[in-house]
Structure formats: C-alpha cells, structure tokens
Structure 1
Amino acid sequence: MPFSHRMPRGLRPLLAALCLGCMIGCMTVAPQAQAQSTDKYPSKPINYVVPFAAGGTTDLLGRLIGQRLSQVLGQSIVVENRPGAGGNIGSDYVAKAAPDGYTLVGGTISSHSINVSLYPKMPYDPVKNFQPVALIGTLPNVLVVNASSPWKSVEDVIAAAKAKPGAINFGSSGNGTSQHLSAELFANMAGLKLTHVPYKGSSQAVQALLGNQVDLVFENSVAAVPMIQSGKFRALATTGPKRAAELPDVPTVAEAGLKGYEIVSWQAIFAPAGTPAPIVNKLATEIGKIIREPDMRQRLAALGVEPSGAGPAELGAFQKSEVAKWAQLIKVANIRLE
C-alpha cells in the first residue's frame, strides 16, 4: 500500500510546508556558498605565469603588478617563467590549468593575438581557452642598435640592408612576438631581406645586441629605454603612431620614411576559461585600481607603457580585434616562420 495512504491527514500540510522550505533553502544555498568562497579568495598563493624569460618586458611588468597585488589581496603572487615558442609554452600551461583563480598568465600581443595566425599548429585558442582579466597597457617598440654601430638613422639601416641582402640580422624575444613582427613588417615595407635570430625573451635579445651578436633589435620600450638612457644602445625610431613621451627626440618609423608603418604592443592578464565571474571581477577590480594609482601610473609611464586598466569585457573586445588585425597583416605581408 502506498505510504501516502497511511499518512494521517493532519500531517500532510506540515510535510508539504517542510518540503517547500527545503526547496527554497536549496535554491539559496548555492549563491550563498559561491559568495562565501569568493569572499575567502584568495586563500592561498596565486601562480602568475610569464611565458617569456626572466628580465623581459612581460616579466618586469608581472613582478611590478604582482608585488602590489599581493599586498592588496594578502596572498603571495608567485611569478613563474615558462618561456618558449613565442609565449606559446607558458600560455598553453595556463590554458590547461584549473579555472579556480589561482593560475594567471601575463598575456601579450604575441601569445594572445599574433601567434594563432603565424604558427601552423597552436596548442590553444587564444580567445576560447582564456578569460580576459585586465589590460595593463600598451607600448611601442623601439628600433635600437648598439652604441658602437655606424648606423645613425633608419635610412642608414635600409641602405646597409639593400647593399647586402640577408647579411644583416635582427634579434627578437621569439617567433611571433611583436618584436619579430615589427622587423618583418619593416623589411616588407622597405623591400629588404633581413635574417631573424629568435631568443626566448627580451632580456636575451638585449644581451645579444649588447654583445654585437645581432645587428639590430625592435625592442619593447620597457627593456629598451634603460639601455638607451645608459648610453649602451642608440634609438633610431619608435613603432607607434606618435613619438614616445620618454623618447621625444626619436622619430617614429613612419616619420623616418615608411609611411603607414605602425605597431603598438600590449600586455595583459588572463585566466583560464571557466574561471568564476566573481573571482575574475575581483581580480579585475583590484588590478584596475592598482594600475590607476598615481605612483604606478608614473612607474609604468617611465617604462614607456601607456597605462590602461581596462577590465574583462573591454579587454576581450580589444583582443578579438587584434586577432583579426594581425591575421590580415600577416597574410598581406606574407610573413612566415622559417
């Protein structure tokens, strides 16, 4: 006989009320639990992966932002360098990490927009496999040569390269990086043949130029400016649409003769796709505040970075536009990995 047929009638309304109460309670537990877990975030150190070698632009910015973020969140930000393949190795590691807010990556114009159109086989999708968090800022690259170089201008470089096709080499922080593409676009627009020597990061490319192992480098302003100011490098041109504030006497590549030339690099922070929105928003809010702090803005500007602090939605839209832009440019300029 069914249980309900044996139940006293007086208990039925009470049981119904209890069941309704349980249903309502279950419906409210999940949001409360989520809110509580977000309030406790972070409860352990956060791993900040830099997909390039130590000492380069992404590394320097990651440590600068990470140090301040650790103070704000009350947890250590552990910077881990996983260089190689133009940022692909470290980025792939984060793409496959648990989406819990404890693994972030210092994403760049190369790892999160250029590489997908340049590498024949990508281990990750720069858009689908990542959750945008915050845009640190944008920065130009600088065409630099060793201070002992005979070249004093862009015209000198072009004349020398045309005189000896393929004999002049340039260093970069890796295949597919903005440094690499800056030189390739330069060569394409000027009708030159240059030889590419890729390294695992900016610091290694800088050291190679310092030791005259390469003839020139298009380097991020973060790594280039200190070397220029110390008198070790000579700046010939910048790649942005306007002159860099920290290098007012240095012309843009467009001003130096290649009209229409423009490349602006960028640095951002991403989490694995699927990271809970409350955690992403908390990180984005705090990082945005840090980047907008007067002292931080001043420190970034001194490195040649135009601070941003844009959040997930704005960064996501910007990244998608960059992916499309570079796909078109790489196709038109016929830029390929050798």
Structure 2
Amino acid sequence: MIPRRAALAALLAAPAIANAQAGYPNRSIRVIVPFAAGGGTDVSARIWAQRMSEVVGQPVVIDNRGGGGGNIGAEAFTRTPPDGYTILLTSNGPLTVNRYLYRDMNHDPLRDLMPIGLVFRIEQLLVVHPTLPANSVAEFIAMAKARPGQLNYGSAGAGSSLHLAAELFKLRAGVNVTHVPYRGGGPAMADLISGNIQAMFDSMPSSLPQVRAGTVRPLAMCGAKRHALLPQLPTMEEAGLPNCVAGTWIAIFAPIGAPPSIANRFGELSRQALAEPTLKEALARAGADAESSTPEELTTIMVRETALWGEVVREAGITAS
C-alpha cells in the first residue's frame, strides 16, 4: 500500500510529472546520499555521478544528508516530489538493517522506496594481527572455540556493517569472540595493527594497504566469490564456512509515485554507465566494484537480506549506539 503522504504528493505533482516525462531528463538530477561527504560510499557515488552526468546529458549532483545511520537522508527523500529528478543512493545498512536498530524510524524501505537498481559493491574480508597463530579460517575458529570469550574483534561501532559481518561469522561458526566497538573503522584498524585487538572484519579499501604492507594477515573474503585484487584469498565458503556472505552494496531508488517509465529510463542509463570499463576502473581505484541489477533483482536482494540481518541482530542482541 502506498503511504498517504506519498499518494498525496503524487496527486499534487501529477501535472508537472506528465510534462516532465517527455524528454526526460531535461534538467539537473539531485542524488541524495544519506552519509557525510568524504566517506567511502560518498567518494564512489561521486565517481558514478560524474559519469552519469555525461551519459544523461544533464548535471547529476550529489546532496549529502548524513545522520541517523542513513535514516535522516532517506526520510527527507520520501518527502520529495516523485518526478524522477531526485534519486536516493544508499547502502544495505539503512535498507535492510536499520529497521531492527532504530525504534523511531519513520519509513519502511520495502514500502516507501521504488527500487531502480544496484550501483556498486564494497567487499569485506576477515583480517587478524600477524602474530596470531591462525593462518586460516579453520584455525581461527579452532582457536576461538578453545578460548571462548578471550579473543576479541574490533568494528566501526555497534550496528555497523563491520559489526554485523562479525556477528554473522560468530553465528555460522558457533564461536564466542568479544566485540570491541570503535568510533569508526580507522581507529579499529589502528588497534588491530598495534595488537590491542586480534581480528576484525574490514572493507577492501581500508584493509588492502595493510594487507600489502604485512601489518595484518587476511584469512578470507566475505563475498560470494574471490576478489580480483586478492585472487589468492579464499571465500568463507571455500575456507569451510558456508552461508557467511557479508559486504556493503549500494543501490539507487526513485520516490514512490514516480512514473515507472522515468525510473526505468534512469536505471537503463545507470546500467549503461556501469558497463563501461572506464567507470569500472575508476570505481575499482576507490575500492568499489561496479554492479548493476534490475529493479526486480534489487527487490529480491532487499527482502532476502532484511530477513538475514534481522536474524543476526536478534541473535546478537545488537542495538544502535
């Protein structure tokens, strides 16, 4: 069911939308990113937006609306005119996890957003301090089971994607490893390098320089397949732990009430841009992997991961902080 406020907005905007459909787009497009400027998602979003401006033939402008774990920007987006000239670009955290973390969340991503498609993905991996006598996932699990609660891992904070990846690992492996939350992934990595914590799940852009420098040891990728930048590193499934896939994916949405023809057109243009080697290479340099999808494929992913992370949040007793 379309929310009352969205239905009213669509009714009021109908004449303007009808005129806008002819020759879309004929003016600049605003892309709301519900995170602060300068972060990994924002940097990659700007690379994508720059190329989209060229493909679309109109400026595609990033509008950062950070705060509330991504909720503030998303809720502002649900109040925008559904004319196709405001797009939301956000990650799987606000889309599939926040409903379990924030009691005051005033929108439902599965109900209040119109999926357009995936844009890119940022993979995660498990890394440990190089002095830890564990050279594989199996050895790390064996050590954790032999020393329940004594090993610890860092994260970017309670409810962060890095925290959730680790808690998924704990559930699948059946181990007790102590969580040490930090105010961001950078401080957690610094403490891992110094040996104050033994392990962490981290994003590829952050961990790759440390892996190459030998200051941390990688054990496995958390994606569904090996990564081109670390082809020798097995996936969790290859390392003996199935159903342990975690990472950050980013997608774009139109407001509910937007004409499907406009949303589909923007999706087609985005998929066209993401298929270009130059954009793929630019995103890869920023640590992201171009990945597109249809609206239907994105909806399936959202439904599946909403159920998955609900299980993880409940089992781990995670709350936002």
Query: Normalising to structure 1: TM-score of the pair?
Result: 0.73
1:221 to 204, 223, 236: 204
**Partner residue in 2 for 1:21:** none
Q: Residue 289 of structure 1 contacts residue 309 of structure 1 at CA under 8 Å; is this kept in 2?
A: no
Residue segments in structure 1 that go unaligned for 5+ positions in a row: 1-29
| Residue 175 to residue 38, structure 1, CA distance change in 2 (3 Å) | farther
Q: Residue 43 of structure 2 contacts residue 286 of structure 2 at CA under 8 Å; is this kept in 1?
A: no
**Partner residue in 2 for 1:11:** none
Q: Residue 50 of structure 1 contacts residue 59 of structure 1 at CA under 8 Å; is this kept in 2?
A: no
Q: Residue 69 of structure 1 contacts residue 77 of structure 1 at CA under 8 Å; is this kept in 2?
A: no
For 2:111, what is the secondary structure of its paired residue? coil
Write the distance in 1 (CA, Å) between the matches of 2:275 and 2:23.
23
* Residue 253 of structure 1: how far off its partner (Å): 2.7
**Partner residue in 1 for 2:230:** 247
Bigger Cα displacement from structure 2, 299-308 vs 241-250: 299-308
Write the distance in 1 (CA, Å) between the matches of 2:120 and 2:197.
29
**Partner residue in 2 for 1:169:** 153
1:130 aligns with 2:130: no
| Residue 329 to residue 244, structure 1, CA distance change in 2 (3 Å) | same
Q: Residue 243 of structure 1 contacts residue 252 of structure 1 at CA under 8 Å; is this kept in 2?
A: yes
Q: Residue 244 of structure 1 contacts residue 304 of structure 1 at CA under 8 Å; is this kept in 2?
A: no
Q: Residue 209 of structure 1 contacts residue 215 of structure 1 at CA under 8 Å; is this kept in 2?
A: yes
**Partner residue in 2 for 1:291:** 274
| Residue 269 to residue 148, structure 1, CA distance change in 2 (3 Å) | farther
1:39 aligns with 2:23: yes
**Partner residue in 1 for 2:318:** 337
| Residue 93 to residue 180, structure 1, CA distance change in 2 (3 Å) | farther
Identity, % of aligned positions: 29
* Residue 287 of structure 1: how far off its partner (Å): 1.0
Cα RMSD of the aligned pairs, angstroms, is: 3.5
Q: Residue 242 of structure 1 contacts residue 252 of structure 1 at CA under 8 Å; is this kept in 2?
A: yes
1:82 aligns with 2:82: no
Provide Cα deviations, 1:86-137, integer angstroms capped at 9, x if missing partner. x333333323344343433322222112332444453320111111122114
**Partner residue in 2 for 1:307:** 290
For 1:62, the aligned partner's letter is: A
Write the distance in 2 (CA, Å) between the matches of 1:295 and 1:278.
28
For 2:94, what is the secondary structure of its paired residue? helix
**Partner residue in 2 for 1:48:** 32
**Partner residue in 2 for 1:107:** 90
| Residue 320 to residue 254, structure 1, CA distance change in 2 (3 Å) | closer
Q: Residue 107 of structure 1 contacts residue 267 of structure 1 at CA under 8 Å; is this kept in 2?
A: yes
| Residue 217 to residue 84, structure 1, CA distance change in 2 (3 Å) | farther
* Residue 62 of structure 1: how far off its partner (Å): 0.8
| Residue 136 to residue 75, structure 1, CA distance change in 2 (3 Å) | same
Larger RCO, structure (CA 8 Å, separation 6 or more): 2
Write the distance in 2 (CA, Å) between the matches of 1:211 and 1:101.
49
Q: Residue 53 of structure 1 contacts residue 203 of structure 1 at CA under 8 Å; is this kept in 2?
A: no
Provide Cα deviations, 1:57-88, integer angstroms capped at 9, x if missing partner. x2232122112112333214124151443x33
Write the distance in 2 (CA, Å) between the matches of 1:94 and 1:212.
42
For 2:39, the aligned partner's letter is: G
Write the distance in 2 (CA, Å) between the matches of 1:77 and 1:146.
41
* Residue 291 of structure 1: how far off its partner (Å): 0.3
| Residue 32 to residue 124, structure 1, CA distance change in 2 (3 Å) | closer
Write the distance in 1 (CA, Å) between the matches of 2:188 and 2:113.
28
* Residue 280 of structure 1: how far off its partner (Å): 1.8
For 2:147, the aligned partner's letter is: A
1:140 aligns with 2:137: no
Bigger Cα displacement from structure 2, 103-112 vs 318-327: 318-327
Q: Residue 62 of structure 1 contacts residue 79 of structure 1 at CA under 8 Å; is this kept in 2?
A: no
Query: Normalising to structure 2: TM-score of the pair?
Result: 0.76
For 1:48, the aligned partner's letter is: I
**Partner residue in 1 for 2:175:** 191
For 1:39, what is the secondary structure of its paired residue? coil
Write the distance in 2 (CA, Å) between the matches of 1:103 and 1:208.
40
For 2:42, what is the secondary structure of its paired residue? helix
Q: Residue 191 of structure 2 contacts residue 197 of structure 2 at CA under 8 Å; is this kept in 1?
A: yes
Q: Residue 239 of structure 1 contacts residue 253 of structure 1 at CA under 8 Å; is this kept in 2?
A: yes
Name which one, 1 or 2, has greater alpha-carbon Rg.
1
Q: Residue 144 of structure 1 contacts residue 219 of structure 1 at CA under 8 Å; is this kept in 2?
A: yes
- Total equivalences in the alignment: 303
**Partner residue in 2 for 1:14:** none
| Residue 36 to residue 268, structure 1, CA distance change in 2 (3 Å) | closer
